[in-house]
Structure 1
Amino acid sequence: MKRVAAMAFVVLASVSCAESGAGQQAAAPADRPRSSTPVTATAEQTASDRSTATPSPTAPPPFTSKVSRVSRDRLPYSWRPGCPVHYRDLRLVTLSYWGFDGKPHIGELVVRKTVTGDIEKVFKKLYDRRWPIRKMKLVDAYKADDYDSIDNDNTSAFNCRRATGSSNWSNHAYGEAIDVNPLENPYVTASGSTAHRNARKFTKRPMKGKGVINPGDRVVKTFAEVGWEWGGYWSGAKDYQHFSKGGG
């Protein structure tokens, strides 16, 4: 009986110890603090994904310019024998500009080969500032008719013609002048009138408006930096569109 009782005691003790150990192992996970790392990582990952998915604004194209020889057939109306500058001394400048529509465009100007650097410097600065220009075509697109080119608000340079109201050659005939946004910046007589009806509201200065040039503004200063003078500073008649190398 003593042996049976002893064996029973050993069995009971083993069972008790096993139950006690199992209880301690089960409790251990419950006693550990729960980590928030997985939740935080998920939130950060979501934020990162959202940031990556957000499209960045498209950068505008950089200013471009190209100087090339101009062929005779590109100047069917604006050049002829007897002009003060031979067409071989002219150059075609193809460059970027911002339009009135807020978009970049490519335009063309013909100027004397000695001033191409001036033109590139000026129009790069105007492009970087997003200063607007209506259009920029060779005056030959209007058969070299200065009135029609101006009436269409076309920015142009070379045109073998006489100065307004004079028998002398214009600086345009030398390829050393340019008219910029001629409707917004008209030629105004000493009496205050202009030949273009669609430009009459722009005869006063200073005034606000898209593509308008005012005394001392960024356009005037930019041209002045390369030695070009503004017709808006003339005494008597004012030519607000006109810039020329050395004036005149």
Structure 2
Amino acid sequence: MTKWPRDNQADLLAFYGTPGRDVERQLVDVVPPFQMYYDGKPISRIRFHRKAAGALRAALDEIWEHYGRDQRRIDALGISKYAGAYNPRKVRGSATRWSNHAYGAAIDLNAEQNGLGAGRGTMPQPVINAFKRQGARWGGDYRGRTDPMHFEFCDASGYPGVTPVKLFDAPEIDADSDAHIEHSAAIDVSPKPTWLRRKWKAVTGWFSGGAGLGFFGYLTDWRVIAVLLGAMVLVAVLFVLFMGPSNVRAWIKRQVN
């Protein structure tokens, strides 16, 4: 078992590694149990440090179960509004200290209603409780300027309602690969994804974010697919009208034979 590191640069570096390539090679995909959206676009997974990924998934699973696996309730409360996780940047206002986002150990939710200095914001208590049960620290508890969108996996001793953390050294992650960028298109699903659906999301996520094939990611959006199918039907109709039904039948017969 391990414990979250104290929130100082030396301990964070020792536990998570150095932001940049050292941390990036330890990022894995966490597949949320409910559909989440980044800037209104569905995502298929969250890039997170392997040491904290199991705890993140456990918190999201608890939230999903608490709200009866009801995507509409999750959306109405703003829980599905994902606002970022891994981001290799420094703490705002500092030129030397890395943000906990840079370690892949922090996540933001519903930034619109839970911005910096917004007190406790509108973050639902069951969401706060779910993260605290994994030992996470909530930005709404900060002394001074609060950050209620923010949850981070570092030592939360002295903060209210945090459960002593119990972690597996090598958490089991529900994903195929850790070689994707963070924000990718995904099929829109409300119920908890099945094994087959998770595999489909991983494949479409690879097309949308991996190997420089971002263009193909648009093919995972049903609206784009509908437009493409409509265009194909229109081309077929125009082809028949231009060639004439008899000529088309003769052309098809030649292709079949």
Q: Same fold (TM over 0.5)?
A: no
- Considering fraction of residues, name the structure with more strand: 1
Q: Which has the larger radius of gyration?
A: 1
The TM-score, its normalising length taken from structure 2, stands at 0.43
Higher RCO, 1 vs 2 (CA within 8 Å, ≥6 residues apart): 2
